[in-house]
Amino acid sequence: MVVGEFTASSIANEQDRLEEDQREKLKTSKVDYAKLDSDVAALKLLAAKGNLAEALEGLLNLEKQHRLGEDATATKAACAAILEVLFKAKDWKALNEHIVLLAKRRSQLKQVVQAFVRQAMGYVDQAPDKETRVELIKTLQTVTEGKIYVEIERARLTRRLAGIWEEEGKIDEAADTLQEVAVETFGAMAKTEKIFYILEQVRLCLDRKDFIRAQILAKKVSPRAFVEQPNKKGQATGEVGIEGTTIEAPDAGTPTLEELKLRYYELLIRYHEHQDAYLEICRCYKAIAAMPSVAEDAKRAATVLRKICWFVVLAPTSSDQVTLLTDAAATKALEELPAYKDLLQAFITPEVVWWGVFSKRYADEMAAQEDVFGGPGGAARLKALRLRVTEHNVLVVAKYYSRLTLARLAELLDLPVEEAEERLSEMVVAGAVTAKINRPAGIVRFALRRAPAEHLNGWAANIRRLLEVVERATQDIQKESMVHKVPIGVA
């Protein structure tokens, strides 16, 4: 290249050199903050009088001067003044443009970007209409995209945008918007705000009937996360997290850890209700009952205890169900609910429960539990309760009988013969009981199921006894052969 030739690269290099020289000069000079404040105030007054363009030009020059001097405090003041005059002028279009402009300026300081983004977030709720609010949020999302130092601000903006879509009834859009952010990777976000954000994602997925994604998101929150961690300073701000990151205070309106725990289990109950996982629902209610705020409120604790009793009874018979049933029956608070104590004892005591008597006795209690036996799933749960009573009766019959007729079994189960045979067959297939049905004779035989190891041990014992008999016979034959001097095998 000829010396002195003007090309795009040479002009750019020259501009870089001039800016670098200017930056070095500004670094060595001290900023007069009093003069800065007076200049900013004068330019704000100029903008208030209607000379907005001239005021913006002056503020942008101040911003450039202190940005090149790498003075974060002065640059913040200049950027804050730019956004303030545009907000007061209600020029929302220019406000969005200048937010992008300030973020894209060369060598812009991270602290400055974070400061004016937070300032602009305060203008969102003061926007005149929804379109302006959405446009401002999307502008701030564009500015914060890919920048770790404003990831928390981006997450909060995304939550606001999802809230707008939800208010309009656009649940799918709200769920998709909120799922764009993976807050579990944010090291500086407070634990309560993280949990609240994830629970909002789960709630929207449940609202849109996306139960698979709701389960995946819910697994990001562990029950151990709700254990209070003692803070030496007694406050969230100033707490140090991973790799020395300072954890910021949660956003305004973030629920407490105990409120989040209650919301977490309520969302899990919604999910398990869709799956008809009554045992898991019972466990969720037990966790809620153990919370201090619930345990201290006698009325609320009694309501939760009723739910525990019904769902542990509705759960299919298993070792876990038996354990929960026994624990629930041993609860001291159940003394104040005698009807529910008798309900659990009916399924613990090895006695036949007559469905006609049972349904009449607990008809009022079932009617009072509208959220259990009412609504779209109420009929299915009532049917499940009838099935649990039948299963309990089959287990009782298997305990006391080794052989009985199908007709007698149907009488004890209070069912038609065909349905009694069907229920017994289901329990045999499930492994709950061991029985054989002689259909031509109409006889049922109950027997204890032997484990494979027991069968093998029995076979081994039989073979051992057989070999002992063979060995003893062989010895007797050899003895007789020696006494009578008759060789074995001689005719």
Report whether pLDDT(78) > 70: yes
Please tell me the predicted confidence (pLDDT) of residue 27.
Answer: 52
Report the Cα 386 to chain-centroid distance in Å.
Answer: 32
Structural domains for the chain: 23-145 (1.25.40), 148-226+245-275 (1.25.40)
SS3 call for 404: strand
Please tell me the predicted confidence (pLDDT) of residue 35.
Answer: 86
> CA-CA distance, 23 to 410, in Å (whole number)?
95
Helix axes 298-314, 338-348, angle to 10 degrees: 20
Give residue-wise pLDDT tens across range 361-373: 999 989 888 888 8
Q: What percent of the chain is modeled with pLDDT above 70?
A: 89
> CA-CA distance, 359 to 381, in Å (whole number)?
13
Contact 85, 63 (CB under 8 A): no
**pTM across the whole model:** 0.79
Report whether pLDDT(271) > 90: yes
Please tell me the predicted confidence (pLDDT) of residue 488.
Answer: 75
Report the Cα 373 to chain-centroid distance in Å.
Answer: 26
Contact 272, 208 (CB under 8 A): no
Give residue-wise pLDDT tens across range 128-144: 899 999 999 999 999 99
Report whether pLDDT(233) > 80: no
**Which of the two residues, 252 and 218, has the higher pLDDT score?**
218
Please tell me the predicted confidence (pLDDT) of residue 235.
Answer: 45
Please tell me the predicted confidence (pLDDT) of residue 29.
Answer: 52
Report whether pLDDT(189) > 50: yes
Please tell me the predicted confidence (pLDDT) of residue 52.
Answer: 87
Please tell me the predicted confidence (pLDDT) of residue 4.
Answer: 46
Please give the radius of gyration of the chain, using alpha carbons only, rounded to the nearest integer: 39
Where do the DSSP E strands lie in 210-301?
A: none
- Dihedral, CA atoms, 406, 362, 365, 341, nearest 10 degrees? -90
Give residue-wise pLDDT tens across range 197-229: 999 999 999 999 999 999 999 999 988 888 876
